[in-house]
Structure 1
Amino acid sequence: MRRALLLAVLALGLMSAPLHAVQPDEVLPDAAQEARARELSRELRCMVCQNQSIDDSDAPLAKDLRILVRERIKAGDSDRQVLDFLVARYGEFVLMRPTVHGANLLLWLAPFAVLLVGGAGIFVAYRRRRTLPAPTVPLSAEEEDRLAHVLAGGDAEAARDLTKL
């Protein structure tokens, strides 16, 4: 019983481990180049899956991109040159973390601007609410006389009339 439980926990642990879609025929013989290729593959988005890196995706396009990355590394390109080549070919959407410039700047700054504007709006509304006096309407001469009469020990009917005001 204990052994079966241990095997089940081990199997679940192995199933939760991250899987990589890199096929054995894609792996570079040089370990340093393969490490660079894996690192670059984690930074590139699968154009089919969109929320997976090409390192994790089984899509045929992701495999083609992994092979292309490895070919560029074997040709002697630096990491920046490989990324620039892929961005020129597929656009900046291929990057898992887009750069902060140009039109992307709006996307990077928009959440902070919304928070800033919302916070300023709440602050202004709070300040106005605290500084505005409560609206008061002065009593008419007749109401003042009735109030004075009730406070002086007048009749209960006049007191009920005042509660209706």
Structure 2
Amino acid sequence: MKPLVAALLMLVCLPALAVIETYDFSEPQLEQRYHALSQELRCPKCQNQNIADSNAPIAQDLRKQLFLQLEGGASDDEIRKYMVDRYGEFVRYRPRFAGATALLWLAPVLLLVLAAAVAWLSLRRRERVESGGLSANERQRLDELLRDEEQAQ
């Protein structure tokens, strides 16, 4: 019973761990842009969390910087460029298509093509094995040789 009560108490405390920051935006559009950009930018420390969901100190700093830049009149592209210049392309959940990120974008297609080629080769090989591994000409020649052998006996 005690472990159950302890688990329930821990669940009740989870909302206290949520990120709670309040910024007073001068315009509602800035707040919408803030939420969109904070979902799009990755926390450099947490790696698999965006800065909106992360409690890491660096994510708090990034959220504050995002707020300041939005209030300062920076465009979304200027903010993204600033973050990438400072933290690298890794800070974006959707990296740009460039030489360094080409493998990230092309890997799924390449793996799909490779899997299709392996499946096709496997099926072709199986058909050959099931048919005795002989082509139609080879089977015809073998039939002729067997007939000649039977006639010779």
Per the normalisation by structure 1, the TM-score is 0.65
* Structure 1 residue 111 displacement after superposition: 2.3
Aligned counterpart, 1:90: 87
Letter in 2 for 1:47: P
- After TM superposition, the runs of 4+ consecutive aligned structure 1 residues lying more than 4 A away are 14-17
2:60 maps to what in 1? 63
1:59-108, Cα deviation, whole Å (9 max, x unpaired) = 11111001101111111110011001110111010011212221211111
In structure 2, the residue matched to 1:75 is 72
Unaligned runs of 5+ in 1: 1-11, 138-143, 145-165
| Higher gyration radius (CA) | 1
1:37 matched to 2:34: yes
Show structure 2 runs of 5+ residues with no match.
Answer: 1-10, 135-141, 143-149
Q: Which AA in structure 2 matches 1:109? A: L
User: Percent identity among equivalent residues?
Assistant: 40
* 2:106 paired with 1:109: yes
Assess, with a 3 A threshold, how the Cα gap between structure 1 residues 41 and 94 changes in structure 2: closer, same or farther: same
- The within-5 A match list for 1:137-148 is none
Question: Could you tell me whether the CA contact under 8 Å between 1:46 and 1:57 is conserved in 2?
Answer: yes
Q: Counterparts of 2:62 and 2:113 in 1: how far apart (Å)?
A: 40
RMSD: 3.0
Q: Secondary structure at the match of 2:45?
A: coil
Residues 16 and 127 of structure 1: CA distance in aligned 2, closer, same or farther (over 3 Å): farther
Alpha-carbon offset, residue 125 of structure 1: 2.4
- Number of the residue aligned with 2:25: 28
Equivalenced residues, count: 126
Deviations 1:3-38 (A, max 9, x none): xxxxxxxxx9x9999x962412x3424222111111
